[in-house]
Amino acid sequence: MKFITAICFTLFVCALSAQIEPPQTHISIMLDAKFFRGDRANDGSYDNANRFQVRKAEICFEGELADRAEYSTAIGMCTCSGNAATVDIPEAEIMYKLHRNIKLGLRKGHVLRGFTSRIECDGLLASEKPHYSLTFGSCHPIGIVASSHHELPHNMVIETEISALNGGNSTLDNEHEYNCGVVFQTPVPGLSAIAVYDHVNRKYYDSLFNQYSKNGYRWAAGLEYMAHSLWISSEYQRGKGFERDEQKMEAWYIQAGWEIGTNLKALPAIQPYAYYENWNRDIGDDAVNQYLELGINFKTLPNSMLRVAYKSMIDKAPGSLADPDQLLARIQISI
């Protein structure tokens, strides 16, 4: 704890001593129309009700402090933290440049847990991040982050990120997440590999509400190819310590999209895609859920897109409830 306090104090002093330049401003808006079909569709719950919805409305400010540090903050509403009815600060960071390739700082926001976890929602191929994402780790954790970026011969690049984060209850009270991730851009143009390990300490409650804490883990590996108008990626994740200490989960997905030029000014390109996910919520038990999504991204302008997707839970664990099918139409802009 003393070490963490010392780092925070050092970063604070560096930020005060730097000259602050005017920040850049970015705006992201995502608006949804959702319609459901199936036994649980429009059953009185908000999640399964036909509706128009603000998926995300956010303004972000980012800049540099005299070339020695970087800062950013985002203010807005997003369904990651509820039904998008509450304004929040989902992201904020101050990163100090220890070297031209190494940064250290405090961050609330995305960390390197996988290909999909490191990017914003409006930059995904499919409509949302994997269903298992929030079970394996929170979307916008906060803590100390160190990252590096090294360019190698033959167009190879290695990116690393190490973070010490709050636990699942957003505290360090017998909780933590120590996450380490590496992305390797291979000599093959567009082909990248990722590996992640996350040491997790969490609180649980048994049937008698006795509190106990054990060590858990998450690890992941995947490949991604983005070249020649193709986007293909797949990741596998496995972990221990979820709703109970001994519970183990595994999940994987594969997705593929192809961007097709149209030579139309109003619609420069379309991007049909397919997404499949397999999530075993309890290894050793028959608890597998499977999901399929088919969609088309209509790229109307460089910074805007219309997304149409059909999402279905094609298989469920015995004794569990099936999610209704969903037809999604989303318009989004990022400027």
Q: Which two tokens stand for residue 37?
A: 């079909």
**What is the token pair recorded at 266?**
């109003």
Rounded alpha-carbon distances, angstroms, from residue 22 to 17, 62, 66, 150, 327: 16, 9, 11, 28, 42
Q: What is the DSSP letter of 168?
A: T
Which helix or strand (DSSP H or E) is residue 29 part of? strand 24-37
198 neighbors 113 (Cβ within 8 angstroms): yes
CATH number of 2-334: 2.40.160.10
What is 193-205 written as a DSSP string? EEEEEEEEEEEEE
Fill in the DSSP letter of residue 12.
H
Contact 238, 278 (CB under 8 A): no
pLDDT confidence tier of residue 11, bands split at 50, 70 and 90: low
Quick one: CA dihedral 117, 272, 127, 237, positive or negative?
negative
pLDDT in tens, 244-291: 888 899 999 999 999 999 999 889 999 999 999 999 999 988 889 999
Q: What is the pLDDT of residues 84-125, one digit of tens each?
A: 567 889 899 999 999 889 999 999 999 999 999 988 899 999
Question: How many C-beta neighbours within 10 Å does residue 225 have?
Answer: 17
For residue 205, the model assigns a pLDDT of: 62
Predicted TM-score of the model (pTM): 0.89
Domains of the chain, by residue range, sit at 2-334
Q: Which residue has the tokens 């904020």?
A: 92
Choose the most confident range, by mean pLDDT, from 14-23, 83-92, 305-314: 305-314
The DSSP result for 267-279, as a single string, is --EEEEEEEEEEE
